[in-house]
Amino acid sequence: MDSLKQKKYKYVKNMLSPDMVEFLSSYSVKNCNRVDDDVPLSFCHHSTDSDIYYHLLYHLLPIMEKETNLKLKPIYSFNRIYLKGSELLKHTDRDECEISASITLKYYYKNKNYKWPLCMGDTPIVIKTGDGVVYKGREIEHWRPMFTQPDGSWHHQLFVHYVDLNGP
């Protein structure tokens, strides 16, 4: 059985090419200056503020539809740069985030052995650069523990959100 149906999430390799990851991270580091009210000690950049992130929803649409076996409507995307002390509390998403993906862009950890997971329920998942986790955001609680790397370390994540064109 498909893990998206059974577990409400699935790991997907190579959602973004290395070149796309490099481009998005370089662009975002230069333009990401909005303090994120949802996650203290982080910065974000939304698709409402960027044609690049708006069009990225459509770039990823075929992958998202293939991985979910659904016809999807793009809603919005954003990216977040987490810094020391950032923590994403346990939550489920609002209706506009029926089907989502969390894709790792780039990161820099001073401790090279550090791993910072996205947790789906009680399952920690370390997402490699360019890979993502596709999940049913309204149905599964998800979160990240506190980012405990020292100053100068960071983690860059992309989020894309869709709804099922045929309804929930």
> Looking at 11-15, 46-50, 123-127, which range is the least confident one?
46-50
Mean residue pLDDT across the chain: 88
What confidence score (pLDDT) does residue 33 get?
63
Structure-block tokens of residue 81: 């740069």
What confidence score (pLDDT) does residue 28 get?
81
pLDDT in tens, 136-161: 999 999 999 999 999 989 899 999 99
Residue of 83, 38, 73, 35 whose CA lies nearest to 161:
73
What confidence score (pLDDT) does residue 95 get?
85
pLDDT in tens, 22-37: 999 888 877 666 555 5
What is the rounded distance in angstroms from the CA atom of residue 147 to the CA atom of residue 88? Answer: 9
Q: Under a CB-based contact definition with an 8 Å cutoff, are residues 41 and 85 in contact?
A: yes
What is the rounded distance in angstroms from the CA atom of residue 106 to the CA atom of residue 109? Answer: 10
Q: Is the pLDDT of residue 1 over 50?
A: no
